[in-house]
Structure 1
Amino acid sequence: MEDDCDIIIIGAGIAGTACALRCARAGLSVLLLERAEIPGSKNLSGGRLYTHALAELLPQFHLTAPL
């Protein structure tokens, strides 16, 4: 593991994951940090998961989603 990166994103919910994905696709080295056991756990357990927007970012997410 490298000791440096271009960007650090705190929180792997919908916004953090989308940001990390866009940055990585732009060629940046990304570190995505999440305090929960699984990414987006607050949204998965206490809120709503917006699957239409997620499907646009990650078309195969429904095949591996921790639901």
Structure 2
Amino acid sequence: MEDDCDIIIIGAGIAGTACALRCARAGLSVLLLERAEIPGSKNLSGGRLYTHALAELLPQF
């Protein structure tokens, strides 16, 4: 494993994971850190997913 990266993202909830995906697709080396066993398990999203933004980020979803 390399010791350096372009960006470090703290938290693998919805926002952190979306940010990591966008950065990785842009060619950046990403380190995504999460303290919980399940990503995003500490917080709740509020129950909303905006489909237009989700379709842009994950067109195959």
Query: Fold match, TM over 0.5?
Result: yes
1:13-52 CA deviation, whole Å, 9 max, x = no partner? 0000000000000000000000000111134699667788
1: CA distance, partners of 2:56 / 2:43: 18
- Alpha-carbon distance between aligned partners in 2 of 1:41 and 1:51, rounded to the nearest angstrom: 22
Identity of aligned residues (%): 100
TM-score by length of 2: 0.72
Structure 1: gaps (5+ residues): 62-67
Looking at secondary structure, tell me which structure has more helix per residue. Answer: 1
How far apart, in 2, do the equivalents of 1:37 and 1:59 lie?
Answer: 27
TM-score where L is the length of structure 1: 0.66
Alpha carbon RMSD of aligned pairs, Å? 2.6
> 5+ residue gaps in structure 2?
none
- The aligned length equals 61
Question: Which one is further off, 23-32 or 41-50?
Answer: 41-50
